[in-house]
Amino acid sequence: MPDKETLERVAEDKREGKSPSTQAGEFVREEMDHIREGKHGAANTKQAIAIGLSKARRAGVDLAQPKKGRVSEKVRKQAARDTKAGHSRKKKAISAKRSRSSEAALKREPRSAASHKALSRQAKSAAKARKQRGPVTASSRARTRKKAA
């Protein structure tokens, strides 16, 4: 369950009309704080970010699932499930046994995933991947708008 302060910051971002990815960033920040505090760990920075995005979707942030071909089908399905859980009125009871075991598994993971060095490395590799996909030009934006319309 996300912290009360995080939910308040997200609500404020939504009121201000900020994008879903900005809203989701608050959950990712919270996750990094949890790892730094020693609440649990993560195998790597990507996993820590994924946990934050999953929490965001489950909290009702309108975050789109990853595009086909970018990630595995399993990850896309999980993102769709998280989004559905976040948009349904009825909240399903969480299995205590499953919750405990997943928490225990995360506690065994290292805490270095949220270090400044690890975050820097992740940001650089993400930027490099974006650059390889090509620059965002006026014509590419126009093409995207046309496709959406």
Averaged pLDDT, groups of 10, the chain, 149 residues long: 92 95 96 96 96 95 91 94 90 89 96 96 94 87 90
Dihedrals φ, ψ of 68, to 5°? -65, 135
Predicted structure pTM score: 0.85
Is 11 domain-assigned? yes
Is 146 domain-assigned? no
Q: How many domains does the chain have?
A: 1
Domain that holds residue 60: 4-114
Instruction: Give CA separation, 36 vs 24, 52, 57, 69, in Å.
Output: 19, 14, 23, 32
